[in-house]
Structure 1
């Protein structure tokens, strides 16, 4: 088999997992594939016990550290694929998220869709697990729209609800971003050296109690986005900042309009290339990056935890 097989199992109990996942893993081990299981701690323990000595041949990872944000997760899988370049890949993946803000749900849905495009040519079988009892219905709906195959009663079938990545991307990005709140602070970006911008961001970040490492991450990300706006956008360019729950939000807006590539900054760039690292690096540093572009201009919105 060549190419990606991307399946989803929505389970209701431990038996659903054991009946489907254990044979799936054992099939991969028998075929000499590189096998990875990412899951919640209780389910990893359950699978280790069910596999017995076969578990020694499986690499296990905890969802809590693997699924921090979409770009880092794609980077984790890219690294595993690179480390096992000569083998077929078999993955059981339980994201571990059960709820989130509308923006977070949209981005994780986009992530599941991106997998189909980013790893389309990778020889791999991936089975994603969602707990139907505790997961937000919006996330379950997103999972249905982003997996070409649906597994029920240990049998896989074509998923009629599946949508291609271009359609999912368009749906995620079709709604405008919420307007900044009245209390947001604003700075016009007039100087190309961006020293005023860095002072503006660092001062407000410290005011909101952001730790020094977080401030440094935010400065690198915001500087990259502002530099892109200066080089490729149109003036006027501005930056706005505000606090939203535990995150600090930074908007960089310009009057230009551009057509990003289908996977803007989600996939690790080719190490031999001299381009493509900017937006990918920004996504790696931030909890969430939202991008909107159209006749009214382009906005890149950065979310980064205060602590």
Structure 2
């Protein structure tokens, strides 16, 4: 009945969309339905000045959706929430160290953040500073400082705080007096310590943050193995199956590993990872690897891609000597 009333009312108002519907009890059909639509302004067809202006008011431009790079997919198979949090925690700290060592990449990250806050006006908030830029350091409640990764960056910032206090100057005056290289180093450290790509749950995947992390890792050529390999505290939350899988991945599989107790297996994996400078791929923020550009797509093969123009009428698939040998053995 409601659909019929909407259709009837739309016919009476020139087919315009119904935006408001009012219903109340009625004795005849049980419910009374009335439909309303916004009043459409009358435009004089002969007035060329009014028609374009009216069209501009009634047609709003589509919302702009900024592009994003492809984000690395998380490894969640056989991984619980606690382990996922540990993995993304360590991966964040590795990227903190890499970005702190590359001031150019850190400057890019900071400018991008400023553009997002001030130009795109996303997540704008007031603070007590003259510059309305909010930031917070990476310091989760249940996390740990890894000395070789974010711990090194925190030590640098503590040394800079000590130097500022000894100068007796205001922060602005002290920073202004730093050499350009020192300023860039401080900028990199401050930007890096604000990184947070931690994910608490396997279903709380931050894909936009992951995409940014992949871009930053590529910019500063992040390699966590330069400073750290899996230690006992990182490996302990992993199951024995995941630990033995790590050994297979790094090429250190050993039948004796299956007989070890959990603590022994953790120490064994840590030792093998240190010898090979190996870390799980989930800690590297590597973007997905594209397929080989030289390999023709299936569509190209189906259309005869890669076949010489002189071979008219020849199909898209060529029989190689290896294929002929395989066919010959099958026929025999």
TM-score range, shorter chain: under 0.3
Higher strand share: 1
**Structure 1 length normalisation: TM-score?**
0.25
Q: Which has the higher helix share?
A: 2
Normalising by the residue count of structure 2, what TM-score does the alignment of the two structures yield? 0.24
- The structure whose RCO (Cα within 8 Å, separation 6+) is larger is 2
